[in-house]
Structure 1
Amino acid sequence: MNLLQSLKNFTTVVVDSSDINIIRKYHPYDATTNPSLILKSVNLKIYEHIINSSIKYAKKKGGNYKKQISNAADKVAVNFGIEILKEIPGRVSTEIDARLSFNTELCIKKSKKIIKMYEDSGINRSKVLIKLAATWECILAAKELKKDNIQCNLTLVFSFAQARACAESGVFLISPFVGRIYDWYKNKGRIDNYIPSNDPGVLSVQKIYFYYKKYNYNTIIMGASFRNIEQILSLCGCDKLTISPELLEQLNFTQGIATEKLFYNEDIYYDKPKELSVSDFYWQHNQDSMAVEKLSEGIRQFAVDQDKLETILSCRL
C-alpha cells in the first residue's frame, strides 16, 4: 500500500488544483481552486475552450468594458468548477475576488452571483463551496450566505481567532494554511532541528482540531498549503486535507502505512465558551504577528493573480 491509499483510510483527500488531468489521476473526493491555480491553467492550450466560452458569455451579457471583464473572470472560475465536478463525487471550492475581502455586502453579492451562474448551468448549490478569505467581514458574509443554503470555505486561516470566529458563525469549512505558517517561522529563523510533530503549521491545525472537537463544533477542518509529505502525515485523521499535485505524486509513489494522528473522544462534551465580539476578534488576531502578515499577504497575492487573469481576458475582449 502506498501512503496516499493509506491516508485515505483516515482523511478525506482533496486535490488543490484546477487541472482536470490531475484530478482524474488521483480520484479525490473534493477539489479546491483559487485565482492563482486558475491563472496557471488558463495559459494551457487544453483549456482554450473555457476561455472562449467565458468571453462569449461576457459579450452576450453586455454592459461596460469593466463589467464584461468581471463577468468573464467569474465565468472562467465557474467553468473550471463545472469541469472539475464532472470528475469528483464531492464539492468544488470556487474563490471570489479577493479584492472584496473587507466588504461584507459585496462578498454576499458576488457569492450569490457565482452560485446563480452554477445553477444556470445545471449545478446545484450543494456541490459548490464559495471560498472567502477569513477576514471578519467575510466570516459575517458566510454566516449570512448560509441562510440561503450557500456554504463557504473560509481560506487563509492563520490565527486561532480566525478559526474560533468561523466555528462560532457556523461556517461550513475552514482551510488553515500549514505551509505558509511554516514558511514564516522558517524565514524568521525560529525553526531549529526540524521535527514534523513540532512544525508550527501542524501544531496550529492540531490546536484547532482539538478545540473544535472539544466544543462539538461542526465546522470542517481542511488542512492546506503543505510544503512536504511529513506535514501531511502529521495531520492524518484531520477531517480533510487539500494537497498539491506534486505532493500527491510523492504520496502515491511512497510505500508505507499512514497512522492516525488526530482523533478525539466525541463522547466528551463541554459548554462552549462565550462567542468572540468583533473587538475580541481583532485584538486576539492582531496579537499574532505571523497571522496578520500572512493573511494580508495572501489576500494581496490572490488579488494580484486576479488582476493578471483579468488582463489576459481584457486582451481577448
Structure 2
Amino acid sequence: MDKTMKIMEKFIIPFVSIIIAFIVGMIIMLALGVNPVLALSALCKGAFGTSASIGTTLNKATPLIFTSLCACFAYKCGVYNLGGEGQFLFGATIAFCILHTSKIQGIPGIIISMLVGIIAGGVWGLIPGILKITRGLNEMIISIMLNYISTLFMGVIYTSWIRDANTPQTPSIDNSLMLSKVIPNMRFTWSFIFAIIVGLLMYYGLYWTSKGFKLRAVGLNMTAAKFNGFAVKKYILISFILSGAVAGLGGAADLLGTQYRLINGYGSGYGFDGVAIALIAQLHPIAAIVVSIFFAALRVGSTSMQVATGVPTSVSDIIQALVIVFSVAGMALTKLPEFETFRLKYLTKKVEGKV
C-alpha cells in the first residue's frame, strides 16, 4: 500500500507542477492584457493543430528524449552525469567525421554512423566514470568541463578542418544517409522512433532485469549495496558508459534525421534540458519521453501563440522553468520528516478502515 502511494506521488507531483506553472503563466498573460484562454489555445494549435505541427513537435522532442534518458540512466545508479550535451555532440561529431572521410553511403553508412555515435558517446561518458572510481573526482565538474571540450572540438571541425567554403559550417551529409520521414507530410523521422525504442529498452532493462535491479540498488544506497556484495564501482562505470552511449546515439540520429551538418550553436542546451526533464519525470524512462514531448510542444507552440496573441515566447520559457522549480520542490517536500509522518498516519488510518 505504501508502494502504491509512492507511485501515485511520482505522477501527482509532475502533474500538479504543470498545473501550477500554467496558472502562473496565465496570470502573466493577464498582466500583459492578453486573454490566457486564447493564448493557450493558440499554443496547443501551434504544437498539435495540424499534422505538420505534430511532426515538428515530435522532431523537436527527439534530442530531448535522448539526453533525458541519458540523465535518467546515470541518476538511477546514483551518479550525476551532467555531460549529456557533450556526449551528444561528440557522438554527432565523430559520426560526421567518419561519414565524411569514408564516403560510405546508404544503409551501411547509417548503421555505421549509429554505431560510431554509440561508441563515441560511451567513450566520452567513460572519462568522468574512470576519474570518479579511480581518483574520487567529482563527476559533475568533470562531465560539465567535457561539454565545453566537445563544443570546442566540434567548432574546430566546422570552422577549420571540414569547413564548407567560406561558411562556418560543414558540408551536408549525402542524401542517401538522411533518415526518411516516418509519415509523409510530417516532419519527424526515424530518429524519433529510435528514441522511443531506446526509452522502452531502458525501462525494461532497469525494471525487469536482475542487472537493472542491482543498478538501481546501487543508486539507492551504495554503502548497503557494497556490503551485500555488489560490484559498486563496476556499476558506476557501466552507468556512465551506457548513459553516454545513449546520448551519443542521439547525436548521430539527430545528425542523420534533422541537422545533416555541424554548425555553430548545434546542440546548445540539450544536456541541461535533459537533466531537467529527467528530474520532472522522476527518473522514469517512459515519463521522460512524455515530458520531452511536452517541452517540445511548449517551444513549437510558443511561436504560434506570439503570432496570434502577441504573448512573447519567453512566457513559455517561464512556464517551462516553473515546471522544473515546482517539480524539484515537490520532490524535496516528500523527503521531509513531516511528510513521512503524514504518510504513515494516512496508511495507518487506511489499514484501520478510517479513510
TM-score (norm 1): 0.30
Name whichever structure is richer in strand by fraction: 1
- Tell me the TM-score normalised to structure 2 length: 0.27
Bigger-Rg structure (1/2): 2
Higher helix share: 2
